[in-house]
Amino acid sequence: MFLDLFYGLRDEGIPVSIQEWQMLMTALEKGLHGSSLLAFYHLSRATLVKSEAYFDAFDRVFARVFHGVEGELSLTQELEDWLNDPKQFDGLTDEQRAQLQRLDADELMRKFLETLEEQDERHDGGGRWVGTGGHSPYGHGGEHPTGIRVGGESRARSAMKVAEDRKFESYRTDSTLDLRQTKVALKRLRHLTRSGPYDQLDIDESVDETCRNGGEIEIVFSQEKRNNVRLLLLMDVGGTMDPYYAPVSRLLTALHEERGLRDFRAYYFHNCIYDTLGTTARLYRDRIPTADILRTLDDRWKVMVVGDAAMHPAELMNPRGNINPRYESDTRGVDWLLRIVNHFDRSVWLNPDPPKIWNHSQTCRIVQRLFPMFHLSVDGIEEAVAALVGSRRSALH
């Protein structure tokens, strides 16, 4: 099988030499693949591929050679073509929704893999096969309380899992359109305190002391006033956040250019915060443990979370709720949110969705009980900043 990979890469035009192949074999001997197909994938790509230009060709060969190992999710081109031409869905009645079978994550994935093996034709409507516009748990453009979205775009925001690699785009830090208003809204994100050596001439105090001394000049020095605010920004990326790429990029740009902050860090997540956060939008590659962030940053940091808080309830409330089945963990998303709220002194949530629809989402209502929620607008940012630097709010119980 390993030789099939080597010769398959050479056949695809990827320049793999004996030196790179020997490096991979040495890494396997040392156990660096972690006895996992996913870890072996990353290890072999890192050792055998010299340029990002060959990533797509490598993925094709890898999928062909290791097809079916560990039940990897893969879709045929024919199935993808079906899903790219969906049937319109009229919706279900309340009685029909009540009759739908609710599945846990393990049962859902097992039945999905079985269905992929059996299906050999296009499916629209109905409730069993992978298709569009029906009440099947698999496909898109339909409705099911515990389903896997395959292809297409999120509409009802109700999928429990998504059967694809999620590739998101990092928010920009050089956005200029309407940036001035955002910067003005963030101006209150300052809390000046005196620190450092006494080497700053205090003119007002010097005048006062001179007057008190009957005109004899008295020079008074004081410490420099500095902004003592440390801000942690956590941003939801991809999926239903794609329409809000521009306003979130403006916010991130303004914060990067806010030189007065004592410290600033920004991380990414998708839908809900779990055991890792992304240092870039490549969440499952450039990531850092969330627990490490909580250990590194003390409670003086302010937290600003940006996201629509709209997801399948299982993503927030169930163990292994991550919508990407490859990166599940036993700790619930709501527990990570609680840890953030209880660890830091002050935190807020900025929601880009219109406030009038916030209560339509069960998960958004839950998040509002944990975080003060404000709209991602100039007025909303001003209100969020006031909450961050204003009076201390009572602790969450």
pLDDT in tens, 109-132: 666 666 656 665 555 555 565 655
Pairing of strands 230-236, 263-269: parallel
Task: Based on the fold, state whether residues 244 and 365 are members of the same structural domain.
Answer: yes
Residue appearing with tokens 């290791």: 66
Q: How far apart are CA 261 and CA 124, in angstroms?
A: 54
Top pLDDT among 201 and 370 is at 370
Task: Based on the fold, state whether residues 38 and 96 are members of the same structural domain.
Answer: no
Task: Based on the fold, state whether residues 36 and 88 are members of the same structural domain.
Answer: no
CATH number, domain of 335, equals: 3.40.50
Pairing of strands 346-351, 302-306: parallel
Supply the pLDDT for residue 392: 47
Q: Do the domain assignments include residue 22?
A: yes
Encode burial over 188-201: b for 16+ CB neighbours within 10 A, e otherwise. ebbeeeeeeeeeee
Task: Based on the fold, state whether residues 258 and 331 are members of the same structural domain.
Answer: yes
Supply the pLDDT for residue 74: 46
Kindly state the tokens that stand for 392: 């201390």
297-396-232 Cα angle (round to 5): 25
**Backbone φ and ψ of 267, nearest 5°:** -140, 165
Task: Based on the fold, state whether residues 247 and 319 are members of the same structural domain.
Answer: yes
CB 210 within 8 A of CB 241: no
Q: How far apart are CA 274 and CA 340, in angstroms?
A: 11
Kindly state the tokens that stand for 332: 């619930």
HSE of 202, CA atoms in CB hemisphere, 13 A: 17
Percentage of the chain exceeding pLDDT 90: 24
Q: Do the domain assignments include residue 268?
A: yes
Structural domain of 210: 199-225
Reported confidence tier of residue 192, pLDDT bands at 50, 70, 90: very low
Reported confidence tier of residue 248, pLDDT bands at 50, 70, 90: very high
Top pLDDT among 238 and 196 is at 238
- Summarised one tens digit per residue, pLDDT across range 62-95 is 888 887 655 444 455 655 665 665 655 555 556 6
Residue ending a domain, among 40, 71, 102, is: 71
Top pLDDT among 345 and 107 is at 345
Q: What is the mean pLDDT of residues 297-318?
A: 92
Q: What is the mean pLDDT of residues 269-293?
A: 91
Task: Based on the fold, state whether residues 246 and 326 are members of the same structural domain.
Answer: yes
Task: Based on the fold, state whether residues 66 and 84 are members of the same structural domain.
Answer: no
Task: Based on the fold, state whether residues 13 and 82 are members of the same structural domain.
Answer: no
Computed over its alpha carbons, how large is the radius of gyration of the chain? Answer: 27
- Summarised one tens digit per residue, pLDDT across range 333-378 is 999 999 999 999 899 999 999 999 999 889 999 999 999 999 998 8
Supply the pLDDT for residue 143: 57
Supply the pLDDT for residue 21: 86
Task: Based on the fold, state whether residues 156 and 212 are members of the same structural domain.
Answer: no
- What's the total number of domains in the chain? 4
Beta bridge partners of 272: 270
- pTM listed for this prediction: 0.55
Top pLDDT among 236 and 228 is at 236
Closest CA relative to residue 279, chosen from 232, 344, 315: 232
Reported confidence tier of residue 213, pLDDT bands at 50, 70, 90: confident
Reported confidence tier of residue 292, pLDDT bands at 50, 70, 90: very high
Task: Based on the fold, state whether residues 213 and 302 are members of the same structural domain.
Answer: no
Supply the pLDDT for residue 205: 82
- Summarised one tens digit per residue, pLDDT across range 134-176 is 555 655 555 555 556 665 555 555 565 565 555 566 765 554 4
